């Protein structure tokens, strides 16, 4: 009996993950599973546990680097109508984990709910944004989260208040669980001014980094305390450095862009080079922001 017996309708074997990541890199997932609702997700997690299958949750792949030989386990994708639901109950917004975050920002602003314009230009799903506590100069998602609904690997649902999520710089505490939905608390306000601020923040962000269409995963490294990873890499003379068809961006040194023909190995080699050169020059150990499977 196959591990996915009874789940055939939602399981696909040997699926290229490059089609599911912003980088467009990486090999196949042994299995790609798309549960249609929370109870199916619980069944999949339980099955992975009993069958001792490694698993990962895939959001929108905007912060992921998948190895060239892929992932030899189960990749779970929260896509489809149920996972993209959103309910507006001003000033609260309840969004399912697969909802596209930029769309959530836009729809909230259109309804006169303001706040998320501060996070303009951050691609990803609601689940991924919460997991990474995504954000930037004008705040992070933690500023708006009121509670998070998690499904533990044991299939138990937990509703956690924001204060129980241990949000920190690009991290949150999920204890191995899956974000299935979140309640955000926004403010009713002047949506015209907020839309204008969204445009300004978006333009400011993309004036200093590669365009949203470039194949990247956003910043590769976290900023070290009191410093900027991009500046350290730039000062190490690495802007424009290439390994194969991957390149440390000439626009922002904390981005590695993948040109046609690049491999994950090329990106990983640039990561190693940047870490080594920055450490030699400054003694700073750069830490990855991007998730490497």
Ligand X SMILES: Cc1cc2nc3c(=O)[nH]c(=O)nc-3n(C[C@H](O)[C@H](O)[C@H](O)COP(=O)(O)OP(=O)(O)OC[C@H]3O[C@@H](n4cnc5c(N)ncnc54)[C@H](O)[C@@H]3O)c2cc1C
The answer to whether residue 230 forms part of the interface with ligand X (CB under 6 A) is: no
Name the token pair of 127: 């689940």
- Of 71 and 238, CB closest to ligand X: 71
Residue 124 near ligand X by CB under 6 A = yes
Can residue 97 be called a binding residue for ligand X (CB under 6 A)?
Answer: yes
Instruction: Please identify which residue in 63, 108, 223, 254 interacts with ligand X, judged by CB under 6 A.
Output: 63
Q: Which is closer to ligand X, CB of 56 or CB of 282?
A: 56
Site for ligand X in 173-192 (CB under 6 A): 174, 178-179
Q: How far is the CB of 177 from ligand X (least distance, A)?
A: 7
**Residue 70 lies near ligand X (rule: CB under 6 A):** no
Residue with tokens 């001792």, as numbered in its chain: 52
Kindly indicate which of the ranges 32-40, 118-126, 233-241, 280-288 contains the residues binding ligand X, using the contact rule CB under 6 A.
118-126
Does 57 bind ligand X (CB under 6 A)? Our answer is: yes
Task: Determine if 131 is a binding residue for ligand X (CB under 6 A).
Answer: yes
Q: Which CB atom, from 28 or from 218, has the smaller least distance to ligand X?
A: 218
Can residue 127 be called a binding residue for ligand X (CB under 6 A)? yes
Cβ 249 to ligand X, closest distance in Å? 11
Inter-CA distances, 188 with 20, 107, 120, Å: 35, 13, 18
């Amino acid at each position: 009996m196959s591990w996915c017996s009874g789940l055939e309708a939602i399981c696909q074997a040997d699926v290229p993950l490059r089609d599911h990541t912003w980088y467009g890199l990486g090999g196949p997932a042994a299995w790609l599973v798309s549960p249609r609702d929370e109870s199916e997700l619980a069944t999949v997690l339980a099955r992975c546990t009993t069958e001792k299958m490694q698993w990962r949750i895939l959001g929108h792949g905007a912060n992921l680097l998948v190895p060239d030989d892929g992932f030899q386990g189960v990749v779970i994708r929260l896509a489809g109508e149920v996972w993209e639901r959103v309910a507006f109950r001003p000033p609260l917004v309840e969004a399912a984990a697969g909802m596209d975050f930029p769309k959530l920002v836009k729809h909230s602003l259109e309804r006169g709910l303001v706040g998320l314009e501060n996070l303009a230009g951050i691609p990803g799903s609601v689940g991924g944004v919460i997991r990474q506590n995504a954000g930037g100069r004008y705040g992070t998602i933690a500023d708006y989260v009121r509670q998070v609904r998690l499904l533990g690997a044991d299939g138990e649902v937990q509703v956690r208040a924001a204060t129980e999520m241990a949000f920190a710089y690009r991290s949150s505490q999920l204890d191995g669980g899956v974000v299935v939905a979140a309640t955000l608390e926004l403010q009713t306000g002047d949506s015209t001014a907020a839309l204008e601020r969204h445009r300004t923040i978006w333009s400011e962000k993309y004036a200093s980094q590669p365009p949203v269409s470039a194949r990247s995963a956003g910043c590769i490294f976290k900023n070290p305390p009191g410093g900027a990873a991009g500046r350290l890499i730039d000062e190490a003379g690495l802007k424009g450095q290439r390994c194969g068809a991957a390149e440390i961006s000439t626009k922002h040194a904390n981005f590695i862009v993948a040109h046609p023909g690049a491999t994950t190995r090329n990106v990983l080699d640039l990561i190693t080079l940047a870490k080594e050169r920055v450490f030699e020059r400054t003694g700073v150990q750069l830490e990855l922001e991007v998730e490497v499977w």
